């Protein structure tokens, strides 16, 4: 075995913890002199119905180095020039690595994000995709919390498979009511070296990151191991000791992690199990963090050609009723306070203004799960041109009241119910909840090498 190969093997043994599915990462950060406010932009899957948002981002960034030039905003996915955009992303990644725009940092990063008067806390590390299965009925250590739309993966795979870097907007949750994993990092923050500190563009709040010491990293590992003990898991959720442990549940970026998994499944046959694509860089947060809030994700039908309410009544007959209300606030109040066996959802536009839909004998546990199959059939049958998934009742109201559109408003779920629901019932309907509203989503700051030669590059080679 060569000296380099021996060094790489030793490093993997020292930094990978297969029993809890993590790896201590090497993370690339913007180098000295980079304008961090222009560097950090919001997750690529946000504001897909508002192209003006991304136009404003482009104007603000200008020619400065920015993660905007390393991602593919989904608002442009169905627009001309996709092939050229992907090629430009790949070239910019190479340029940034070559020119020192990005510089390496070894180890976990403790993250604080403050927005809307709340601060949430996280830690950047790598998850082992060998421990992740997003298919229905999965019992893996890392699991999807919502249904994965396989048809949404191919364009993401095309972007990632030729990329030298990954830039994560993935948030993964742990169920740690005693705050044993991340809170000690908050306590020790004063002893950590600051890595970045920036007021984010477009109302994104404040972001700061700190280098986690070796001792603190060991504390994270040990705390995760305690959470992953089968007896601890069984007692917490009242399940049998033979029930497979769920340690990590997807919060945001479900399709991004599923894309990373698809790439890893291809690469492991070609390059072996030690290829860097086996891991994905994520931010880990505690579902019990007071700064973390669950928000409902609403539905927006674009270009309706058929009356939605008529189709609803044709589908459910006497089991569905519609009541018009005077305002969006009245609609929200009725839906958010709903109880009992009948499910409620708000409706905006669609030939009406504001109303409340009630469904008796629903087919799913949540209103969004009952209505989603109807919306899928409505779209497939040509009832509308497209569907979008919208964060925020104000955005839904503004877009749904445009001629030809219709919106559906849903109440949120309580975050403390997430893990037990996934353990007992499996993944929720797709796009059920969101960690905060659109402007609160993760901004890109950190990167990680995922190219074939990334491991060797950690020790000074220039290629990707």
C-alpha closest to that of 285 among 104, 412, 440: 440
Q: Are 202 and 42 in contact (CB under 8 A)?
A: yes
- For residues 221 and 80, membership in a common domain is answered with yes
Residues 283 and 312 in one domain: no
Q: Does residue 63 belong to any structural domain of this protein?
A: yes
| Domain match, 301 and 381 both | yes
Q: How far is it, in rounded angstroms, from Cα 430 to Cα 76?
A: 22
399, 407 contact by CB (below 8 A): yes
pLDDT at 14: 56
Residue 198 maps to a domain: yes
Residue 132 and residue 257 in one domain: yes
- Phi and psi (nearest 5°) for 420? -65, -35
pLDDT band at 351 (very low <50, low <70, confident <90, very high): confident
Mark whether 64 and 133 lie in a shared domain: yes
State pLDDT tens for residues 449-462: 997 443 333 323 33
Summarised one tens digit per residue, pLDDT across range 195-227 is 999 999 999 999 999 999 999 999 999 999 999
Provide the token pair at 407: 């919106």
Does 374 lie in the same domain as 262?
no
Does 57 share its domain with 161? yes
Question: Do 42 and 84 share a structural domain?
Answer: yes
Q: How confident is the model at residue 149 (pLDDT cuts 50, 70, 90)?
A: confident
- Would residue 161 count as lying in a domain? yes
Identify whether residues 307 and 236 lie together within a single domain. Answer: no
Please, what is the average pLDDT of the chain? 90
Say if 187 falls within a structural domain.
yes
Say if strands 386-391 and 22-23 run parallel, antiparallel, or are unpaired. unpaired
245 with 315, same domain?
Answer: no
Confirm if 35 and 24 have CB atoms less than 8 A apart: no
Tell me if 381 is assigned to some domain: yes
On whether both 270 and 340 belong to a single domain, the answer is no
Asked whether residue 244 is domain-assigned, the answer is yes
Assigned domain for 431 exists: no
- Provide the number of structural domains found in the chain: 2
Model confidence pLDDT, tens digit, residues 68-91 = 999 999 999 888 999 999 999 999
Determine the pLDDT at residue 298.
Answer: 96
The yes-or-no verdict on residue 3 having pLDDT over 50 is no
Give pLDDT tens digits for 216-266.
999 999 999 999 999 999 999 999 988 999 999 999 988 899 999 999 999
Q: Quickly count helices (H) and strands (E) in the chain.
A: 15, 22
Helix H or strand E segment including 433: strand 433-435
For the entire predicted model, the pTM comes to 0.81
132 and 203 inside one domain: yes
Helix 153-161 × helix 82-98 angle, to 10°: 40
The pLDDT assigned to 107 comes to 97
Report the distance separating Cα 463 and Cα 97, nearest Å: 9
Q: 303's torsion region: left (phi>0), alpha (psi -120 to 50) or beta?
A: left
Question: What span, in angstroms and rounded, lies between the C-alpha atoms of 77 and 30?
Answer: 26
**Owning domain of residue 396:** 297-417
* pLDDT band with cut points at 50, 70 and 90 for residue 11: very low
258: three-class secondary structure by DSSP: helix
Phi-psi region of 404 (alpha: psi -120 to 50; beta: other; left: phi over 0): left
Residue 426 located in a structural domain: no
pLDDT higher than 70, residue 440 = yes
pLDDT at 284: 98
């Amino acid at each position: 075995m060569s000296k380099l190969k021996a060094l790489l093997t030793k490093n993997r043994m020292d930094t990978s913890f297969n029993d809890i599915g993590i790896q201590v990462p090497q993370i690339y950060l913007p180098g000295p002199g980079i304008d961090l406010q222009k560097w950090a932009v919001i997750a690529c899957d946000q504001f897909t119905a508002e192209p003006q948002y991304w136009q404003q981002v482009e104007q603000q960034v200008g020619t400065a180095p920015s993660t905007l030039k390393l991602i593919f905003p989904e608002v442009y996915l169905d627009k001309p020039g996709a092939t050229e955009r992907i090629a430009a992303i790949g070239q910019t990644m190479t340029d940034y690595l070559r020119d020192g725009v990005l510089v390496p940092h070894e180890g976990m990063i403790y993250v604080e994000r403050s927005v809307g008067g709340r601060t949430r806390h996280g830690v950047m590390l790598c998850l082992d995709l060998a421990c992740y299965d997003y298919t229905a009925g999965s019992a893996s250590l890392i699991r999807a919390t919502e249904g994965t739309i396989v048809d949404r993966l191919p364009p993401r795979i095309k972007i990632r498979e030729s990329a030298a870097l990954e830039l994560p907007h993935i948030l993964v949750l742990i169920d740690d009511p005693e705050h044993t994993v991340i809170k000690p990092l908050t306590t020790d923050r004063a002893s950590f070296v600051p890595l970045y500190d920036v007021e984010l563009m477009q109302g994104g709040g404040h972001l700061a990151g700190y280098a986690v010491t070796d001792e603190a990293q060991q504390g994270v590992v040990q705390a995760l191991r305690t959470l992953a003990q089968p007896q601890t898991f069984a007692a917490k959720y009242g399940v049998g000791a033979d029930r497979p442990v769920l340690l990590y549940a997807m919060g945001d970026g479900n399709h991004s992690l599923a894309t990373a998994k698809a790439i890893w499944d291809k690469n492991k046959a070609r390059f072996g199990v030690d290829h860097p694509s086996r891991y994905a860089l994520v931010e880990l947060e505690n579902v019990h963090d007071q700064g973390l809030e669950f928000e409902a994700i609403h539905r927006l039908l674009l270009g309706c050609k058929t009356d939605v309410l008529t189709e609803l009544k044709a589908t459910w007959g006497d089991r569905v009723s519609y009541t018009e209300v005077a305002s969006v606030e009245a609609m929200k109040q009725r839906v958010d306070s709903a109880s009992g066996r009948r499910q409620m959802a708000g409706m905006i536009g669609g030939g009406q203004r504001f109303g409340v839909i009630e469904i008796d004998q629903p087919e799913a546990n949540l209103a969004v799960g009952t209505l989603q199959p109807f919306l899928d059939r409505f779209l497939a049958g040509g009832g509308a041109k497209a569907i979008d998934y919208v964060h925020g009742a104000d955005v839904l109201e503004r877009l749904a009241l445009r001629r030809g559109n219709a919106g559906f408003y849903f109440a949120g779920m309580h975050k403390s119910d997430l893990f037990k629901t996934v353990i007992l019932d499996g993944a929720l309907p797709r796009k059920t909840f969101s960690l905060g509203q659109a402007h609160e989503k993760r901004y890109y700051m950190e990167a990680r090498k995922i190219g074939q030669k990334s491991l060797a590059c950690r020790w000074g080679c220039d290629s990707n």
